């Protein structure tokens, strides 16, 4: 790799790469990150062997990419240039894909996605409702490039925004552009990015640092991982532009060690950018220099909090400290430091290349651009979803997510992870933006979205998240250390059927005290799952405490499963699936549950197509 010494050389290299015939070969783009959990590595190896066996190495390109988003249907791949989309691909399918689709342009219908609502077969990626309704800004390269090949990034629009900023904009103009775009931090609090950059630029001290927060500790959230593994250079380019604007000469990417693929791809991206001279001294022949390192975290939720993250990079135990001073004034090694989230950084190159007005035209007035959600839970199509801010919960859950499976009903969406809250059904048409979501007691947070159906117990949900924050509390301050423990004890008591009326007021009281008195954001937001479920699902708490019932049939101490003899046709499905042989009955005769043997696993309710298994 020859160093690129100017913007002109960068554009000349791009032209050469774009003209390279290798780049115009038929291409198989296979997800090689998230889909690994479903066997994509074996599919990849089979492709490599098959391509070699048939002597097709210079006729076909295998592009192993980051996450395509539609994780539910993995392993997924796209054959280009036609854009044919295959899902649930197995190694046995590989010879047929090469023979029929790659060499002869035919579609293998068996591997296409069938929309469960319209029953239509979707041949192309853009036909799949999951993709059709999304709007990709941050994920524009995901699934399009090999994240381990900087040339793939350069062939699209890679590092053009950096060249534009260095060549034609002053640092102040860059900050102004980012401010005008309305970009707000995607790491949780939604602080305006331009304003944050300005504070750091104006702070006294040298050197200045920029940091990328890729800690991503929320359970169920993996959008930052998706960007790191799918498009690492977009993060680097965003950080370079930010560093130029702020006047920073050094930076860190803080990424948890549990993300080995992200660490590998980011490290490789740094090496390749250095080899091209896009990182290091005198970038693109200017006097701007920037050096970037990776710091691996040990995977503690609190280390995502910026002062704890700074302590962790410095080699100390990751514990928060009071603010002020803010990191912009005194951060890493006591120097002015700007920390942004992965998704925030990845938005920056698009803002610079397409302009603030273009960016601000997406989304809502006060929440511009798009947001990636990690859609999980009781929804047909789980995966990573990028939508314009202001899309409604209904659009995300029902149109993109395909709705709640097994003829159950939507109850709530838990948004914002352990710092967030539950948004009930009555807000399905609420636009999802920073302010609307927090107005109903949740937060957009990093973008975790767990869909819950009528078989979800909201008290148990609050208990689950409280258990998480309680064990992740660093213990430095009493309200969080003791308060989250008391919250957890009370919630546990309620789910075990030992709750009393007074516990409900107690939960509120402790929750509000922990919110007010905790030192850092972990403690300040830890009561959110409890307070939001108390607010929206008060009747469920009452049922647990007063009636000693769990309406959703989850809390074992409060649940009895019975079969409704009127509805039961005696099909025998539940009997076969019961792990404890608690169900008896002849075929075509209503079945009965022996309560002595029943362990309340709920399998009978899951399998019964007639809704004959009831919870009392
Ligand atoms: C307990 C806790 C955990 C956090 N975890 C993360 C995280 O994993 N990733 C992240 O970007 N921000 C996280 N944040 C928010 C960061 O402290 C910080 O606000 C953010 O990285 C700023 O970037 P932004 O302005 O681009 O959002 C966390 C905050 C708290 C209080
Ligand atoms: S609020 Fe919790 S996590 Fe934050 S400093 Fe206090 S004890 Fe630690
Ligand atoms: S699955 Fe439902 S209908 Fe069939 S035997 Fe069990 S309860 Fe009855
Ligand atoms: S809840 Fe589980 S153990 Fe009880 S009857 Fe149903 S399947 Fe059997």
Q: What is the pLDDT of residues 152-190, one digit of tens each?
A: 999 999 999 999 999 999 999 999 999 999 999 999 889
Q: How far is CA 127 from CA 132, 145, 343, 384, in A?
A: 6, 21, 26, 17
C-alpha span between 191 and 203 (Å, rounded)? 18
Distance 560 CA to ligand 3 centre (A): 16
Of 118, 340, 317, nearest in space to 239 by CA = 340
3 state DSSP class of 200: helix
> Each residue of 40-90: pLDDT tens digit?
999 999 999 999 999 999 999 999 999 999 988 999 999 999 999 999 999
Tell me if 91 sits within 8 A of 46, measured CB to CB. Answer: yes
Q: What is the mean pLDDT of the chain?
A: 95
Tell me if 414 sits within 8 A of 297, measured CB to CB. Answer: no
Of ligand 3's listed atoms, the one at least distance from the Cα of 613 is: 7
Distance 401 CA to ligand 3 centre (A): 29
pLDDT given at position 406 = 79
Residue 232 clears pLDDT 90, i.e. is over it: yes
Of ligand 4's listed atoms, the one at least distance from the Cα of 561 is: 1
Distance 16 CA to ligand 4 centre (A): 65
Of 284, 295, 203, nearest in space to 237 by CA = 284
User: Checking DSSP bridges between strand 113-114 and strand 121-122, what pairing results, if any?
Assistant: antiparallel
Of 454, 399, 446, nearest in space to 425 by CA = 454
Return the residue whose CA atom lies nearest to atom 1 of ligand 3.
Answer: 608
Return the residue whose CA atom lies nearest to atom 6 of ligand 3.
Answer: 574
pLDDT given at position 497 = 95
Reported confidence tier of residue 236, pLDDT bands at 50, 70, 90:
very high
Of 384, 397, 340, 392, nearest in space to 363 by CA = 392
C-alpha span between 550 and 311 (Å, rounded)? 44
Distance 522 CA to ligand 1 centre (A): 10
Output the pTM of the full model. Answer: 0.94
Give the ligand whose atoms come closest to the C-alpha of residue 573. 3
Tell me if 370 sits within 8 A of 387, measured CB to CB. Answer: yes
Residue 295 clears pLDDT 90, i.e. is over it: yes
Distance 582 CA to ligand 4 centre (A): 6
Reported confidence tier of residue 336, pLDDT bands at 50, 70, 90:
very high
Q: How far is CA 109 from CA 9, 93, 439, 586, in A?
A: 45, 12, 46, 42
pLDDT given at position 444 = 86
C-alpha span between 227 and 238 (Å, rounded)? 12
User: Checking DSSP bridges between strand 77-80 and strand 84-86, what pairing results, if any?
Assistant: antiparallel
User: Cβ(343) to ligand 1 under 6 A?
Assistant: no
Candidate of 305, 419, 522 to mutate for ligand 1, largest count of ligand atoms within 8 Å of Cβ: 305
**The two structure tokens encoding residue 513:** 């005290």
Average pLDDT value for residue range 128-156: 95
3 state DSSP class of 133: coil
Of 186, 65, 88, 85, nearest in space to 130 by CA = 85
Return the residue whose CA atom lies nearest to atom 25 of ligand 1.
Answer: 185
> Each residue of 401-441: pLDDT tens digit?
999 987 789 999 999 988 898 999 999 999 999 999 999 88
Q: In this structure, which long-range contacts are made by residues 189-196, counting pairs with CB atoms below 8 Å and at least 24 apart in sequence?
A: 189/521, 190/367, 190/434, 190/444, 193/340, 193/344, 193/348, 196/328, 196/338, 196/340
Average pLDDT value for residue range 308-316: 97
Distance 340 CA to ligand 1 centre (A): 8
pLDDT given at position 299 = 87
> Each residue of 345-361: pLDDT tens digit?
999 999 999 999 999 99
C-alpha span between 445 and 428 (Å, rounded)? 18
The β-bridge partners of 212 are 253, 340
Of ligand 4's listed atoms, the one at least distance from the Cα of 594 is: 5
C-alpha span between 313 and 337 (Å, rounded)? 12
Residue 303 clears pLDDT 90, i.e. is over it: yes
Residue 397 clears pLDDT 90, i.e. is over it: yes
Give the ligand whose atoms come closest to the C-alpha of residue 303. 1
Cα 277 versus chain centre, distance: 31
pLDDT given at position 535 = 94
Distance 455 CA to ligand 3 centre (A): 18
Distance 238 CA to ligand 4 centre (A): 53
C-alpha span between 552 and 453 (Å, rounded)? 9
User: Cβ(570) to ligand 3 under 6 A?
Assistant: yes
């Amino acid at each position: 790799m020859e160093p690129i010494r100017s913007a002109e050389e960068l554009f000349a290299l791009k032209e050469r790469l774009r003209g390279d015939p290798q780049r115009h070969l038929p291409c198989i783009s296979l997800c090689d990150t998230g889909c690994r959990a479903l066997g994509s590595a074996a599919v990849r190896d089979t492709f490599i062997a098959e391509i070699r066996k048939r002597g097709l190495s210079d006729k076909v390109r295998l592009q192993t990419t980051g996450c395509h988003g539609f994780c539910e249907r993995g392993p997924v791949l796209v054959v280009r240039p036609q854009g044919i989309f295959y899902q649930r691909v197995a190694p046995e399918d590989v010879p047929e894909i090469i023979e029929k689709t790659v060499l002869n342009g035919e579609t293998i219908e068996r591997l296409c996605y069938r929309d469960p609502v319209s029953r239509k077969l979707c041949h192309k990626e853009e036909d799949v409702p999951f993709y059709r309704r999304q709007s990709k800004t941050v994920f524009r390269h995901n699934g399009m490039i090999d994240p381990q090949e900087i040339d793939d990034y350069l062939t699209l629009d890679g590092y053009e925004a950096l060249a534009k900023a260095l060549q034609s904009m002053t640092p102040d103009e860059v900050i102004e552009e980012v401010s005008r775009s309305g970009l707000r931090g995607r790491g949780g609090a939604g602080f305006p990015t331009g304003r944050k950059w300005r504070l750091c630029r104006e702070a006294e001290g040298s050197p200045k640092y920029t940091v990328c927060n890729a800690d991503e500790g929320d359970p169920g959230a993996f959008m930052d991982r998706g960007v790191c593994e799918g498009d690492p250079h977009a993060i680097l380019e965003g950080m370079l532009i930010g560093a130029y604007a702020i006047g920073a000469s050094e930076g860190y990417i803080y990424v948890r060690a549990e993300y080995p693929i992200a660490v590998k791809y980011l490290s490789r991206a740094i090496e390749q950018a250095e080899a091209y001279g896009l990182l290091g001294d005198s970038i693109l022949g200017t006097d701007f220099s920037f050096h970037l390192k990776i710091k691996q975290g040990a995977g503690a939720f609190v280390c995502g909090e910026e002062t704890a993250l700074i302590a962790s990079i410095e080699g100390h135990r990751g514990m928060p400290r009071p603010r002020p001073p803010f990191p912009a004034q005194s951060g890493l090694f006591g120097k002015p430091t700007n920390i942004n989230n992965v998704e925030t950084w990845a938005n920056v190159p698009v803002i610079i290349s397409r302009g603030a007005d273009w960016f601000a035209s997406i989304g809502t007035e006060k929440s511009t651009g798009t947001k990636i959600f990690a859609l999980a839970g009781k929804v047909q199509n789980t995966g990573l979803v990028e939508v314009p801010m202001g899309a409604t919960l209904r659009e995300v859950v029902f149109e993109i997510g395909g709705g709640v499976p097994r003829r159950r009903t939507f109850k709530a969406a838990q948004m914002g992870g352990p710092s967030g809250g539950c948004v009930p059904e009555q807000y399905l048409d609420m636009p999802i933006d920073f302010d609307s979501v927090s107005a109903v007691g949740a937060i957009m947070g990093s973008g975790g979205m767990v869909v819950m159906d009528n078989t979800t117990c909201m008290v148990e949900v609050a208990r689950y998240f409280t258990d998480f924050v309680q064990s992740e509390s660093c213990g430095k301050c009493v309200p969080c250390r003791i308060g989250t423990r008391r919250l957890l004890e009370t919630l546990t008591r309620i789910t075990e059927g030992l709750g009393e009326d007074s516990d409900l007021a107690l939960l509120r009281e402790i929750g509000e005290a922990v919110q007010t008195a905790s030192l850092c954001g972990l403690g300040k937001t830890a009561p959110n799952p409890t307070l939001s479920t108390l607010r929206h699902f008060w009747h469920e708490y009452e049922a647990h405490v007063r009636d000693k019932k769990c309406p959703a049939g989850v809390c074992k101490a409060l649940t009895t499963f019975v079969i409704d003899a009127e509805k039961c046709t005696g099909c025998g499905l539940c009997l076969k699936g019961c792990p404890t042989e608690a169900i008896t009955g002849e075929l075509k005769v209503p079945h009965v549950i022996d309560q002595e043997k029943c362990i309340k696993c709920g399998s009978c309710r899951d399998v019964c197509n007639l809704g004959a298994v009831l919870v009392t």
